[in-house]
Amino acid sequence: MKWKSLVVAMVATSAGADAAITAIADSSTFDYKYEMDVDPTTQNLDGLGAEDWFNGTSGGFTSPAVSGGFAFSNQATSATLLRGDFNAGGAGSMWRELVSGGAASTWTMEVRFAKVSGTQGSNGWFGIATANLSESNSSAVYVLDDRIRLNGGADYLVGTDFSTGFHTVRVAHDAVDNAYYYWVNDVLLNTDLSTPIAGTNGGSFDNNTFIGDFSGSLSGEWQIDYVRVDTEALAAVPEPSAAVLLGLGGLAMILRRRS
C-alpha cells in the first residue's frame, strides 16, 4: 500500500465528517521535488523537453543562485524569484504544462525556506503566488517577520517568529470551490478541511506561479531548501491527536492480547 493511501485509510477510521480535502501526504511523496541539490531552473522533471522553471533574467527579475543545497536571493542585483510563467511550444514550465491547466485542476505546493538577512517590506520578505489558467481569483502568501498574510489582507499566526529558522508553507488548490487551503509549519490556516479560502487578487497571477520576491512590497534576503509539487490536493500530515493516539493504544492492547 502506498504511503498516501495508508494515511488516507488512517484518517477515514479516525475522522467522523467528510472534508473537501480527504487525502493527506508528506511532501516527500510528491510527484515533483526540487531539493536544490541541483539548480531547479536546469531541471526537466516533467520530461517535456524544457526547463521546469524560468532560467535567467527578464523584466527585472532573475533566477536565484543555487549553492550547497539551497537557492538564495540576491536583492543587490535584482528581485529574485522562481518563475513558472512561460510557454515553449508545448514544452513550457512544469507549472503551466502539468499543474495549472484550468480552474478544475487540483494541485499542492510546499516550500521550505528561511530568512537570511535584511529588513522587510510592507508585505514581508518572502512570498508564494499561484493561480490556475483562466481563474477569477489567484492566491498570494506573504511571510512577514511576525505573521503570515494571505492575499495582502488577512493576517494569521500573529506573533510567531518567522525571522529565524526554517519554515514551510503548503498551498492546496480545491478544484470544487476554486479556492485554497493553507498550512504553515503543518498548521492549517483554514477553519477546517471543508472551508477553503477564496483568492482575492483577481487574475493577476493567471496561469503562473512566483516564489520569492514578486512584488515591490517584499524586501529581504532568503534561502529555499525545497519546492515540492503534486497534482493532487493534499493536506499536511497533522500532529497525532489524542483521539488517534487513544485509538492506536487500543489497537496495541488488542494485538498484545491476541499474541
**Which runs of E-coded beta strand occur in 24-88?**
32-34, 57-58, 61-62, 65-67, 70-72, 79-83
- Percent of residues, the chain, with pLDDT higher than 70: 76
Residue 225 has pLDDT above 60, yes or no: yes
Beta pairing partners, 258: none
- Percent of residues, the chain, with pLDDT higher than 90: 44
Span 73-82, pLDDT tens digits: 987 667 788 8
Query: Which pTM value belongs to this model?
Result: 0.82
CB 227 within 8 A of CB 82: yes
Q: Which of 19-23, 102-106, 171-175 has maximum average pLDDT? A: 171-175
Q: Name the region of 4 (left: φ>0; alpha: ψ -120 to 50; beta: rest).
A: alpha
Pick from 141, 223, 224, 225: which is nearest to 190 by CA?
Answer: 141
pLDDT of 13 reads 35
Average pLDDT over residues 18-31: 84
Quote the radius of gyration of the chain (alpha carbons, Å). 19
Span 114-172, pLDDT tens digits: 999 988 999 999 999 887 776 767 889 999 999 999 986 799 999 999 999 999 999 99
Span 180-213, pLDDT tens digits: 999 999 999 999 999 999 887 655 566 778 899 8
Q: What structural domains and CATH numbers belong to the chain?
A: 3-252 (2.60.120)
